[in-house]
Structure 1
């Protein structure tokens, strides 16, 4: 729905948005979004465990030369639109971070309180 009128918009296969339920005012406001992948920390209140989530995103009608599918990472305060190359670099950094957390856990399991 755009300003109360139904129009045909083709979605990528991964788009999970209900474009009929949301009545956007302008075509430029229509965004394609995929399902969330969450990064959580165990323990604590469920609402406090989410560190961030990622999903695919595409602004097909944004005013730029060529729309690009991005990996949108949301940390709860800001959304980072990562190009495919940036998303791979981010994933590499997450793997390095995970390795460091494993090292810390190994030291903590042997530490005397």
Structure 2
């Protein structure tokens, strides 16, 4: 059965070979939050768009932002993602101020 993807979907559904519609989900490219150190960086979290059009969870049948810290995924509605982004900006300003104080 053909299921049209949102324009932002980067999932290769043919390679996934999903057999049940309930298992089909759309994912966008991830935005990574990384901490420098060691060889390269360490991934703290990533965020991506998601959509599960046939899931039993009705709230995930609309696009959402998934923030995953590698131990727990958080599914955010668009308004919640905006609040989270605002809090990230405040956090970034505080980390910058700490770095300047440490210098």
TM surpasses 0.5: yes
CA shift digits 1:25-77 (9 cap, x unpaired): 3111100000011000112134x611010000000111255621000011011
- Point out the more displaced range, 91-100 or 37-46: 37-46
Q: Which residue of 1 aligns with 2:71?
A: 77
| Cα distance change on mapping 1:26 and 1:75 into 2, 3 Å | same
Q: Specify every segment of 5 or more residues in structure 2 that has no aligned partner in the other structure, as ranges.
A: none
What aligned pairs does 1:42-53 form with structure 2 within 5 A after superposition?
42-46=36-40, 49-53=42-46
Which has a greater percent of helix? Answer: 2
Q: How many residue pairs align between the two structures? A: 102
Which has a greater percent of strand? Answer: 2
Q: Which residue of 1 aligns with 2:29?
A: 35
Runs in 1 of length 4+ with deviation above 3 angstroms?
A: none
RMSD between aligned residues = 1.4
Q: Which has the higher Rg, Structure 1 or Structure 2? A: 1
TM-score normalised to the size of structure 2? 0.92
